[in-house]
A = this chain, B = another copy of it.
């Protein structure tokens, strides 16, 4: 049996010479739900972008048993659903339907299958009625749900979310947490929202200056005020 995500000694330097990741190793078992926290600029987004080969550093990244590299990229991208912080970056088609259908269409699925995928993805996020709507006019919370649907329609095994609750009001945030709790996939969530971590994610990884500073049960780490303080975090 393989692990969902295996990262071994990963380092990455941006073209301008900024070292964003330094020797990061991390293993996530299938079905695990893991939080990735740390101050601004810690390298969280950079790490997430390695999981489907958008960035390529030194070291080894394996997802669902597939090494993330050249010939596997297509399958890796189908297996990893990456949801970016700003849903506006993810919703670039005229209608919600087109957006959710992008992944399946790109995979070359037959039209009937595409329809079925879109329908079930929208149902999963509770937005079935929105298929014909124009994404641009939706509220932030609604956009966020659609953005998640756009990756669910690809039937990913792993869901990777970059700061999913940023900019949501408390009601929309609550709805989103409930939704994520109900999804069965392996999940890796980068966030500043430690209250959400406590509720939703049993395991927590602290990243700081491109290194893994701590990795363990969220409840334990969140109780350690000194540790949090040292990495620019705060008890929720």
Contacts and interface: CB of A to CB of B under 8 A. Distances in A.
Interface of A: 39-41, 139-141, 166-172, 174, 192, 194, 232-234
A229 to B, nearest CB: 10
A172 B139 contact: no
Contacts of A194: 170
B170 A167 contact: no
A166 B169 contact: no
A222 to B, nearest CB: 13
Most buried by B among A39, A140, A169, A194: A169
Given A40-B141, A170-B194, A174-B234, 5 more contacts: A39-B169, A39-B170, A40-B168, A169-B232, A170-B234
Contact of A167 (B41, B140, B166, B234): B166
A141 B232 CA distance: 13
Contacts of A168: 40
